[in-house]
Amino acid sequence: MGIIRGGDAEYDDNTPTPEEKTKKMAEAISAALQDDPATLKLTGKYLGADEALILSRSERLKAVRTLDLSDNQIPDEGLVALFQSENLAGVTSLNLGINFITGQGVEGIARLENPAMTHLQSLTLSDNRVTDPAGAALALSSHFQELERLDLGWNEIGNETASALGRTETLPKLKQLELERGYIDTLGVRGLIAGSVTERLVELNLSANKLNDEAIGLLAGCDRWHSLRVLRISQNQFGDAGAKALGDSTALSGLTHLYMGRNAFGAEGAQAVYETKTLTSLKTLVLKEGVETTPGLVNYSRPELLRPEDP
């Protein structure tokens, strides 16, 4: 920077050229793949659209199966470029949590005619700007036939996505579903449990949504939880009636882990679950938890998602 007398300032342009970006990315890729050519982890590197495009063009990524690009600045065009790359066709686990992805980008990949990345088993899009219609579009897309784990938490996900997951026929292998910090209420739960996805889920996270007693009653009464072992419903809005429905549930008898702290039930509801005669497989039961012991409940980057409230 050069300072000129009189108050004017001249700033040198330090923006790297495309060639410099390509060289820097090549070095980062080489270093990251040194220990394991099948795993590429580039987190917290301030990667944006240009870097995502460079990655998509790199033939060195053909052997990569696990791609972790979380905590960057990758926008929609970068997301689409990654999904269209033949060099990334072998990726089975993709983590794009904490980026600049919006609903438009997710709808874009959901509706691609011939995406290259079609063998994903795990997809993380948490803590972006994914909208409810985009989540629904992804759930109904035919591009994720091998997906076993889907994380859409910390987004603007609500009833439309939950209902689409309930009626989808294109996620036949889905076992783990993360929908934490959303806007799902009774309507969404009713849609979710209406379909066959409930029969395959092993883990379901609905923490910090808008589940009241009626919604919990629907979950507890659904007779399709054939495989469910882990249920997370902490930080919702249900009270003693919902807790009693859980404690009396025969449909959830296969649960081994139940997390339900930070809700409105009292001693009566807690006792109903603690002394349950039906949830006989439980190994872990969390009835009470606080921010001081679960710091993940606080999202300083997006305070509007700390706890979705009724408008």
pLDDT for the residue numbered 16: 84
CA angle 137, 124, 260 (to 5 degrees): 95
Q: What DSSP string runs through 172-193? A: TT--EEE--S----HHHHHHHT
Cα–Cα distance, 35 to 61 (Å, whole number): 14
Say if CB 202 and CB 227 are below 8 A apart.
Answer: yes
pTM, 2 dp: 0.90
State yes or no: pLDDT of 158 exceeds 60: yes
State yes or no: pLDDT of 272 exceeds 60: yes
Pick the more confident residue, 1 or 75: 75
What residue spans define the domains of the chain? 38-305
Q: What DSSP string runs through 85-104? A: -GGGTT--EEE--SS--BHH
Say if CB 57 and CB 87 are below 8 A apart.
Answer: yes
State yes or no: pLDDT of 219 exceeds 80: yes
At 304, is the pLDDT very low, low, confident or very high (cuts 50, 70, 90)? very low
What is the fold, at CATH topology level, of the domain defined by 38-305? 3.80.10
pLDDT for the residue numbered 271: 94
Tokens (6 digits) for 124: 């993380």
Cα–Cα distance, 237 to 253 (Å, whole number): 23
pLDDT for the residue numbered 65: 98
For the chain, what percent of residues have pLDDT higher than 70?
89
Cα–Cα distance, 186 to 203 (Å, whole number): 19
At 5, is the pLDDT very low, low, confident or very high (cuts 50, 70, 90)? very low
For the stretch 25-56, pLDDT in tens is 999 999 999 999 999 999 999 999 999 999 99
DSSP H or E stretch at residue 149: strand 149-151
Radius of gyration of the chain (CA): 22
Give φ, ψ of 267 to 5 degrees. -60, -35
At 1, is the pLDDT very low, low, confident or very high (cuts 50, 70, 90)? very low
**Coil, strand or helix at 265:** coil
Pick the more confident residue, 308 or 201: 201
For the stretch 164-216, pLDDT in tens is 999 999 999 999 999 999 999 999 999 999 999 999 999 999 999 999 999 99
Say if CB 278 and CB 254 are below 8 A apart.
Answer: no
Q: What DSSP string runs through 274-289? A: HT-SS-TT-SEEE---
Q: How many residues does the chain have?
A: 311
For the stretch 125-142, pLDDT in tens is 999 999 999 999 999 999
Average pLDDT, the chain: 91
DSSP H or E stretch at residue 68: strand 66-68
pLDDT for the residue numbered 290: 63
Cα–Cα distance, 235 to 232 (Å, whole number): 9
Give φ, ψ of 293 to 5 degrees. -105, -10
